[in-house]
Amino acid sequence: MSVTLTAAGEALIARLQAEGTPLVIDRFVFADVPGQDHTQPANPAQGVPTDHVVHEFPIPQEYRAYVNPSQVVYSALLGSDVGPFSFNWQGLYCTEHATLVAVATFPRLEKRRYDPATNTQGNNLTRNFLLEFSGARELTQITVEAAVWQLDFTVRLRGIDERERLSNRDIYGRAAFLDDGWLLTHTGGAYRFEAGRGYVEGIRAALPEPAPVVPTVTPCEVWLDVSMQGQGSDVVTMVTPLCLAPGTPSPDYVAAAPHNTPHYCEKVARIEANGSVTDLRSRTLALTPEMFGGLSAIAMVAATRDMLAGAIVEWECEAIPTLADGLPLGLELDGSVVSLAAFPRLLRKWCGAAKNGSASAWYRCTSGGVRDTAGGYIKLQDRRGNSSRGWDHGRGIDAGRALASAQEGTGLTSGTLYVGGTPGAGIIQSITNLDGPSMASASTANSNAATAQVSITSGKVRVANVAAMLVVLV
């Protein structure tokens, strides 16, 4: 390998030093020069081999560093998105003065570019060019020391970790624990953290299996000291439980040099004097409209309505809330006629033109309830006092039913039945509180006869239930 200052470069350096003007080298030039012998000294009289240039690299300010007052170094990072080409020559160029300052020659190197179409693997090359002359640091006005400059990727990797932490912080807030993650329990006289996940200041703390906890004092408050610490060439989450006397603060802190690791402390439980445990974990996510693309509250409501309108739900409260858009969450299914202009999403419940003339509900109509396939209103079901039954849909248990059709309840004839002896004597069975119209029994009996017998071959009565308002979401 041969490295040299060009004659033009030496002249430029001398002139700028005399003028007190800084030298700004701002470009790498790469070329593939045919027939070049890298074992021979480079010709200082040469210029840029324009016909053979294969790539140029603008040198960022942070890729310029000094080694000592007489040495400065420039670097080019050629990622896998650069190429393909080969090169055996590189030069440092000053654009301001259109001058090739220095040249280096070497055996031909190959620069490959990753090609996803053919799955051709690319390569990454880092090219450094050390330039040495008296007063180099002062003339180039480079202030970054090469010992801690950009080729130390530790800084960038730490930046990636920090961006990830802050992203998690935006979602989970100061702290959030999922399910039973880090839940402190007390069983059989022993304390332990349950397995699971939690986030403290954006750091993901995962506990793969339950971990024992031995309180150092009782009563006490249990904290988690969470940090990201180096382990080999990696950085991993470290969690240390702290048992402190009640009321003792445990603020976040930064560990001493040289690592200066931030530690975040979060209170998760309290152990009482009698050994009982109070869970103090935060389980609230810090979700905001910005998490959903900056949607406003009204836009979020609209998006939710778009997904759920038409669904029928039980609502065990007399009042139906009004949402951010000024409309109710839903409408009670009471057989009303409602405007499709006010509730356009209910059109998805329409039974269709073919059934509009016969359907018991969900047909389009006028404001007065007159059926009209082009009507601007829709007829709601009346589900008050009724329960739901799964649609037979070909099974044969409840054959002949149309979807959303109503069915009367079965019942027994209401009255008092006398079994044996004379009227007013014997066993009395009273059947009351029937739902819907009654049905005739399979046989009848005269209750005025000396002996009355009733044979009931089948009878169905209602099951235990809870009164709930059925609401269609709009």
Closest CA to 76 of 144, 142, 23, 28: 28
3-state secondary structure of 161: helix
Confidence tier at 300 by pLDDT (50, 70, 90):
confident
Between 407 and 226, name the one with better pLDDT.
226
The pLDDT of 288-310, averaged and rounded, is: 76
Confidence tier at 441 by pLDDT (50, 70, 90):
very low
Residues 108-133 have pLDDT tens digits of 999 998 887 887 888 888 888 989 99
Tokens (6 digits) for 81: 């998105």
pLDDT for residue 432 is more than 60:
no
| Domain locations along the chain | 2-151, 157-279, 295-410+459-474
Would you tell me how many other CB atoms lie within 10 Å of the CB of residue 469? Answer: 18
Q: Whole-angstrom Cα distance, residue 130 to residue 432?
A: 103
The single-letter code of the amino acid at 308 is L
Q: Give me the pLDDT at residue 446, please.
A: 40
Residue with tokens 């609502």: 315
Confidence tier at 34 by pLDDT (50, 70, 90):
very high
**Residue 393 — left, alpha, or beta (φ > 0 → left; ψ -120 to 50 → alpha)?**
left
Q: Whole-angstrom Cα distance, residue 225 to residue 218?
A: 19
Q: Whole-angstrom Cα distance, residue 383 to residue 387?
A: 7
Tokens (6 digits) for 371: 């059926």
Q: Which helix (DSSP H) or strand (DSSP E) does residue 265 occupy?
A: strand 262-271
Q: Give me the pLDDT at residue 256, please.
A: 83
Q: Give me the pLDDT at residue 269, please.
A: 94
3-state secondary structure of 251: coil
pLDDT for residue 182 is more than 70:
yes
**Percent of the chain's residues with pLDDT above 70:** 83
Confidence tier at 154 by pLDDT (50, 70, 90):
low
Residues 308-324 have pLDDT tens digits of 999 999 988 888 999 88
Lowest mean pLDDT among 132-136, 290-294, 398-402, 407-411: 290-294
Mean pLDDT of the chain: 83
Lowest mean pLDDT among 33-37, 292-296, 330-334: 292-296
Length of the chain: 474
Is 102 exposed, middle or buried, given 0-12, 13-18 or 19+ CB atoms closer than 10 A? buried
pLDDT for residue 294 is more than 70:
no
Q: Give me the pLDDT at residue 251, please.
A: 94
Confidence tier at 149 by pLDDT (50, 70, 90):
very low
Tokens (6 digits) for 281: 């974990």
Between 77 and 153, name the one with better pLDDT.
77
pLDDT for residue 445 is more than 50:
no
Taking the CA of residue 183 as centre, how many other CA atoms within 13 Å lie in the half-sphere pointing to its CB?
11
The pLDDT of 463-470, averaged and rounded, is: 83
Contact present, 96 and 87 (Cβ < 8 Å): no
